[in-house]
Amino acid sequence: MARKIIPDVVNKQELSNLTPKDTVRAAAQLMGQKHIAAVLVVEDDKLVGIITERDLTTKVLAKNVDPDTTMITDIMTPSPDTLAPSDRPSNALELMSVRGYRHLPVTEDGKPVGIVSIRDLYAIVKDGLEQDVKDRDAFIFGETYGSSHK
């Protein structure tokens, strides 16, 4: 069975969104409060950008930019690449690898419905590999191999 981004990777996720009119300080505070590394930027229920910890570090801290007067639109990645709910985790990993992303928004008709992190995808791939090993061992050694049947 092929896994999909929703519901296999992202399931019952609470999104943390801000608007383009919010400040960089608001983004940093939201990330700190929610213990997250990326915030979606939404306007009229549509995804317009993403701001990440990397943006805060390279575009604000490293350049001594004032987070209280700088708007999110000044440092966000506008019109980011996105995933569809039906995309496969392997597609997300490939896109992240090629483009150097650690977070990808998931959208449906332009509306954000989730966000996937590289950590989420590693967990799914790891689970899949572990299941493949179990299936292989069961095939080679029989269905009860490694079980505690007495």
State the pLDDT confidence band at 150, using cuts at 50, 70 and 90.
very low
Question: Does a cis peptide bond (omega within 30 degrees of 0) precede residue 112?
Answer: no
Could you tell me if residue 118 is inside a domain?
yes
- Count up the domains in the chain and report the number: 1
Report how far apart, in Å, the C-alpha atoms of 61 and of each of 26, 67, 129 are.
15, 9, 39
Could you tell me if residue 75 is inside a domain?
yes
CATH value at residue 116: 3.10.580.10
Q: What was the pLDDT predicted at 144?
A: 60
pLDDT in tens, 69-120: 999 999 999 999 999 999 988 889 999 999 999 999 999 999 999 999 988 8
Q: What was the pLDDT predicted at 143?
A: 65
Amino acid letter, residue 110:
G
Could you tell me if residue 8 is inside a domain?
no
How large is the average pLDDT for residues 50-70?
96
How large is the average pLDDT for residues 112-138?
81
Report how far apart, in Å, the C-alpha atoms of 147 and of each of 134, 135, 137, 150 are.
11, 13, 11, 9
Could you tell me if residue 146 is inside a domain?
no
Could you tell me if residue 59 is inside a domain?
yes
Could you tell me if residue 137 is inside a domain?
yes
Task: Tell me what percent of the residues of the chain surpass a pLDDT of 70.
Answer: 94
Residue 43 in this model has a pLDDT that exceeds 90: yes
Asked if 120 and 3 touch (Cβ cutoff 8 Å), the reply is no
Asked if 6 and 113 touch (Cβ cutoff 8 Å), the reply is yes
28: domain range? 16-141
The residues that bridge with 27 in the sheet, in sequence order, are: none
Could you tell me if residue 148 is inside a domain?
no
Question: What is the reported pTM?
Answer: 0.81
